[in-house]
Chains A and B, each alone.
Chain A
């Protein structure tokens, strides 16, 4: 079985700052693998341990950040056998319907039985790529997969944790599944897997290599800005003697009533 696990590089959210004019500054935020996609990779690795003759290709599409050797090693140290990246300047800020189209072209090139994606990414959190990719490829596809219960050639049984119930689904392969963050606890790469990652094959493709057709702009991103802040009272009592604490307690008591 040929598994592709897709991932996206997103800025480390803890290092994003908000500028005075409400824009996000991601300059100090190093690119990291989208946390949801770590679950997708882990799901692929666990699946591989269940079935014989399984290979995992990690796949990503995007801009220059994908050339970074550290980021490549990072994804490969998580367990995939090899890596395929599709890099183009115009992939810098793709929207989900476009990402899905690029991944479709790339997956058609490499072939697959199963593609595993995360449910969303930490930047735009559009939660669409896996589903749209599956739909474009014309294969079975579903989101919110919270457990892979069993796998056999040509068929997967999964659980889907929804708002009101759990569905147990049999999915005929080829298929694309998007997994939710609760599917597993991604394992931390060991020194051994990090060293091994450096030796794994990487294929770097261009838009021409995957014969990418022009893609539409069904949606365009107008702006990304920090939300306006509510005005606050900002009554701050400096000091913690009995009287000051009593004063603070009084504010709290009023708010509670």
Chain B
């Protein structure tokens, strides 16, 4: 049985991320104290996800940005004496808050954490070098601050009969001035390869821009999003940057990844290794891609792609 910390603090600036943050709190702590900015319904929601205590920072205020609450949160946490851990959503606001709290509380911070170990102090793992490696860091300070990647802890079933203790927290004015003058919805969602269930990746071996059309047809046929290797996006500029897979690009987690004319350099593969099943077509049987596949075929892309298309249509 893993030991638990006596209290974990939780905050998410985005409502949809709160259940899994609280689930992490429940897994790692006896008490789960959640900061809430919003309505009474949101306090109740936090309890229903498993929070034992809610520290209520008041209703949403259009004049304030989330980061304005750093002093209020720091003050509340520093009032407790035990060693503790604060978990934040891995959003831009979560990270800004994490760093500010890190300085205010003299606390160690680790972002985008994919694994937490609290056996001997707090240890956290996160991706480094664009995915080539996993860094493990040990937080030595009494307060440890972590922004937790999504999907690390499963949200628990919501139970609306659960209640807990709610405490009103008075707002502490920030010491420096950032004024929010406007908020607006983000313009149209662009492609999100990271969430696609099937992805076809195109590499330099595709040969020509015309062949991209064939790859797109194959991709559409299997219900996949089209992605590419870095040279296709950066050297050839045949596809947008948000479609390139690998180091400093997109990290995939699809059920199927299908690599077309991709040699399989580790810098590309780190973006694809999270795939459940990997398929590849490449004419060079010594290409590194074949070290990473579940199913591969050594062959000419000009021949294999059309033949596959007709086979799949049959």
Q: Does B1 contact A (CB under 8 A)?
A: no
- Return the CB mask of B161-189 against A: 1 if under 8 Å, else 0: 00000000000000111111111111000
- Of B65, B91, B103, B311, which is in contact with the most chain A CB atoms at under 10 Å from its CB? B103
- Return the CB mask of A234-257 against B: 1 if under 8 Å, else 0: 111111101011101101110110
Measured in the bound complex, the distance between the Cα atoms of B93 and A156 in whole Å is 19
Q: Which residues of A contact B111 (CB under 8 A)?
A: 125-128
Contact A169-B65, Cβ < 8 Å, known A128-B111, A245-B307: yes
Which single member of A13, A170, A236 contacts B290 (CB below 8 Å)? A236
Measured in the bound complex, the distance between the Cα atoms of B129 and A142 in whole Å is 24
Q: Which residues of B contact A128 (CB under 8 A)?
A: 95, 98-99, 102, 109, 111
Which of B28-36, B50-58, B298-306 binds A?
Answer: B298-306
Measured in the bound complex, the distance between the Cα atoms of B126 and A124 in whole Å is 9
Measured in the bound complex, the distance between the Cα atoms of B277 and A251 in whole Å is 11
Measured in the bound complex, the distance between the Cα atoms of B133 and A219 in whole Å is 18
Assess whether A245 is in contact with B299, with CB atoms less than 8 Å apart. Answer: yes
Q: Does A196 contact B (CB under 8 A)?
A: no
Assess whether B293 is in contact with A220, with CB atoms less than 8 Å apart. Answer: no
Q: Which residues of A contact B103 (CB under 8 A)?
A: 97, 100, 132, 135-136
Which single member of A13, A162, A248 contacts B297 (CB below 8 Å)? A248
- Of A100, A216, A245, which is in contact with the most chain B CB atoms at under 10 Å from its CB? A245
Which single member of B128, B184, B298, B308 contacts A124 (CB below 8 Å)? B128
Measured in the bound complex, the distance between the Cα atoms of B95 and A142 in whole Å is 10
CB of B262 to closest CB in A, whole Å: 14
Q: Which of A193-234 contact B (CB under 8 A)?
A: 216-227, 229-230, 232-234
CB of B222 to closest CB in A, whole Å: 6
Which single member of A125, A166, A233 contacts B186 (CB below 8 Å)? A166
Which single member of A14, A225, A232 contacts B133 (CB below 8 Å)? A225
CB of B80 to closest CB in A, whole Å: 18
Q: Does B152 contact A (CB under 8 A)?
A: no
A-B contact count (CB 8 A): 256
Assess whether A220 is in contact with B140, with CB atoms less than 8 Å apart. Answer: yes
Assess whether A122 is in contact with B248, with CB atoms less than 8 Å apart. Answer: yes
Q: Does A35 contact B (CB under 8 A)?
A: yes
- Return the CB mask of B228-268 against A: 1 if under 8 Å, else 0: 00100000000000000001100000011010000000110
Assess whether A218 is in contact with B267, with CB atoms less than 8 Å apart. Answer: no
Q: Which residues of A contact B139 (CB under 8 A)?
A: 218-219
Assess whether A256 is in contact with B180, with CB atoms less than 8 Å apart. Answer: no
Q: Which residues of B contact A244 (CB under 8 A)?
A: 297, 299
Q: Which residues of A contact B311 (CB under 8 A)?
A: 245-246, 249
Assess whether B132 is in contact with A16, with CB atoms less than 8 Å apart. Answer: yes
Assess whether A18 is in contact with B186, with CB atoms less than 8 Å apart. Answer: no
Q: How many residues of A contact B (CB 8 A)?
A: 78
CB of A64 to closest CB in B, whole Å: 20
Measured in the bound complex, the distance between the Cα atoms of B128 and A95 in whole Å is 13
Assess whether B180 is in contact with A172, with CB atoms less than 8 Å apart. Answer: no
Measured in the bound complex, the distance between the Cα atoms of B266 and A139 in whole Å is 41
Q: Does B123 contact A (CB under 8 A)?
A: yes
Q: Does B42 contact A (CB under 8 A)?
A: no
Measured in the bound complex, the distance between the Cα atoms of B104 and A245 in whole Å is 62
Which single member of A141, A169, A216, A252 contacts B179 (CB below 8 Å)? A169
Measured in the bound complex, the distance between the Cα atoms of B311 and A236 in whole Å is 19
- Of B176, B277, B281, which is in contact with the most chain A CB atoms at under 10 Å from its CB? B176
CB of A203 to closest CB in B, whole Å: 27
Measured in the bound complex, the distance between the Cα atoms of B14 and A169 in whole Å is 19
CB of A130 to closest CB in B, whole Å: 8
- Of A18, A163, A168, which is in contact with the most chain B CB atoms at under 10 Å from its CB? A163
Q: Which residues of B contact A248 (CB under 8 A)?
A: 279, 281, 295, 297, 304, 308
Contact A164-B186, Cβ < 8 Å, known A13-B247, A232-B294, A244-B297: yes
Assess whether A143 is in contact with B141, with CB atoms less than 8 Å apart. Answer: no
Measured in the bound complex, the distance between the Cα atoms of B271 and A203 in whole Å is 40
CB of B231 to closest CB in A, whole Å: 10
Assess whether A255 is in contact with B299, with CB atoms less than 8 Å apart. Answer: no
Assess whether A240 is in contact with B303, with CB atoms less than 8 Å apart. Answer: yes
Given A127-B95, A216-B106, 13 other A-B residues pairs in contact with their CB atoms under 8 A: A96-B109, A140-B177, A143-B96, A162-B93, A165-B184, A168-B182, A227-B273, A233-B294, A235-B296, A240-B307, A244-B297, A248-B308, A252-B222
15 A-B pairs with C-beta separation under 8 A: A132-B103, A143-B99, A144-B92, A163-B91, A164-B14, A165-B184, A169-B181, A172-B178, A221-B135, A223-B136, A225-B134, A227-B133, A234-B290, A240-B297, A249-B307
Q: Give me the 4 closest cross-chain CB pairs, A-B, nearest first.
A: A240-B299, A131-B99, A218-B108, A135-B103
